Amino acid sequence: MATQADFDRVLEKLGARRAGSSWMARCPAHEDRTASMSLDFDNGKILYHCHAGCSQEALLGKLQEKPIEIDHYDYTDESGKLLYQAVRMEPKTFRQRKPNGHGEWVWKLGDVRRVLFNLPQVIKSQLVIITEGEKDANTINALGYVATTNAMGAVSPKKKDDNKKWSAEYNEQLRGKDIVIVPDNDEAGALHLEFLTKELHGAVKSIGVARVPEKYKDVSEWNPGTEAFSTLIKYAEKYSEEPKDWRLLFHSYEDFEHAPPLSFSIDRFLQNDAITAIAGLPGHGKTFNALSVCKALLRGEGKLWGWFQINERFERVIYLIPESTITPFKHRLKLMELYEEVESGRLLVRTLSKGPAPELDDKRLLWAVKGAAVVADTAIRFMEEGLSDNSASEMANSLSNDLLGLLRAEARCVLALFHAIKGAKAAEVMNLENMIRGTGELGAVLATAWGVKQIDEKAAITYVQNLKARDFEACGPFQLVMRPAIDNTHDIQMHKTPEETGPLYEEQPDMNPRNNSQKREAKFANMALYRAWTEKDPELSTQEIRERFKDLGIEVKDVTIRGYRHDAEKEKKR
Ligand SMILES: [Zn+2]
């Protein structure tokens, strides 16, 4: 900011003459005989303009080559001996110079000792005010306070890390004092304040911040009287390292008290406010599984597959299936007797025929999901195509975020379907790694994951196993029967309950030819024993049968024995 006095000095130096409301002087950017440069003073700024047509850039460039000295500030040691000067120039710039000992100036400080402005007074005073420049410091000094500044003023917003502006020696000069910082009312001022508080922390007794009234840029522009300034200093806010709102980063105890309890739309199968996955190889019944879940949610009572209690009735279920077109999906809806729910409007479907997968953050979708169950079949289809250059983990992160976005939009639950890796077919175990393809990071956001695997194509039997259960104990694996049951009952049915289903390698003997002929033979032998014993004594308990096997040196688990019972009863019915 220039003052009228500064302007007068510039006019004098350039030999300007009054011309109407302006001033005219010779333009330094061209051979000027007629004084074609006008000068005006406007709102703290000196404006130059060449009426002969020189560009503003050329004009200012020339002026800056030979700036006019407006004011200078002495920097002295403790005893008042001059060390160097800061010189304020017009066009606005600061330069520093030191005496060379022979009555001349050197415009380079070199290794001259750097000190705080007004050092002799600073040493003596307990209260020291720090401003952003010598002019402001002098404004305050004139009010009877002791103010200082660091040479070269504020930190530039463009060069945040310019540490050269503060030296450890300044801290020694200010040690144990009460400091009040008066920052300028702009971005640079805020940065300078942050910078100073960091530098001073630990060295001084206290740090206060006094802000000049908002409508002024700095204390010089404000130009307060002693009384107004004293009030400002008296009520300076105490600077604290502690951010006022740091606790807001965390949950309060009340948040916990009001948190909804862990709840399930379908008991121990589908969690509310969470993402549940169904994963499996293509053609292994994922979509029918998901449709069966939808049917249960729309019905709102009874048990899913005769096993999982249905706790809630949904008024809206959203099925997004960008992997299918409308016609085959309509067929499946009819098979499952879900088509009527499309008509009632409770089941909202989008297939590929309506266009590619919508963005999961589509405003209309986020509106529609409120209170609803949402199925993404499959979830991978909702990864952003534009991200194909990015790593798989970035894509997985973005998908996780989108799925969680549905919950933030108050979807009641999200069911995400995933393809398994090809190797899952021959695998003897199911886990998150082989059942969810290319989405390792996604596993972390899933509350629950179920793996499905067809283990008997002819009989349409799928094996279902829990792969992940967050905060609850999941049931053991079980088996479902698909097509014949769907044709007859319009839903999937339980084939073998968790109480009857053994581990995968026992239940899919045909798929592991390498070591299964042995297992199959063992099973035939055990079944023969089982049949013989139970024909004689149909009341035999599972435990008693286990004991009998044990007497023969054969270890058989209860669940396997219940499986034998299941198979034997089926045989009888035939
Ligand atoms: Zn010119």
Distance 72 CA to ligand 1 centre (A): 29
- What share of the chain has pLDDT > 90, as a percent? 53
pLDDT in tens, 498-540: 999 988 888 876 655 555 566 667 777 788 888 888 888 888 8
Ligand 1 (ion): residues with CB under 5 Å are 27, 29-30, 50, 52, 54
413 or 380: which carries more pLDDT confidence?
Answer: 413
Segment 19-46 mean pLDDT: 90
Distance 64 CA to ligand 1 centre (A): 14
CA 147 to chain centre: 43
Distance 62 CA to ligand 1 centre (A): 10
Q: H helices of 336-475, where?
A: 339-344, 363-368, 392-408, 432-435
Distance 39 CA to ligand 1 centre (A): 12
Nearest to 315 by CA among 411, 448, 415, 447: 411
- Report phi then psi at 224, rounded to 5: -75, 160
114-238 CATH choice from 3.10.105.10, 3.40.50.1820, 3.40.1360.10, 3.40.50.2300:
3.40.1360.10
Segment 376-395 mean pLDDT: 72
- In the chain, where the domains are located: 1-66, 114-238, 264-506, 512-573
Distance 38 CA to ligand 1 centre (A): 10
Q: How confident is the model at residue 163 (pLDDT cuts 50, 70, 90)?
A: very low
Distance 71 CA to ligand 1 centre (A): 27
Distance 42 CA to ligand 1 centre (A): 21
Distance 59 CA to ligand 1 centre (A): 7
Tokens found for residue 264: 């399930």
Q: Is the separation of the CB atoms in 533 and 565 below 8 Å?
A: no
Does the pLDDT of residue 388 top 80, yes or no? no
Question: Quick one: how many helices (H) and strands (E) in the chain?
Answer: 20, 26
Sheet holding 178-181, edge to edge: 147-148, 127-130, 178-181, 206-209, 237-238
d(CA 570, CA 524): 15
pTM for the model stands at: 0.56
> Pseudo-torsion of CA 150, 156, 157, 159, nearest 10°?
-110
Q: Is the separation of the CB atoms in 403 and 276 below 8 Å?
A: no
Does the pLDDT of residue 332 top 60, yes or no? yes
Distance 21 CA to ligand 1 centre (A): 20
Topology, domain 264-506 = Rossmann fold (3.40.50)
d(CA 538, CA 436): 44
Distance 57 CA to ligand 1 centre (A): 11
d(CA 360, CA 275): 14
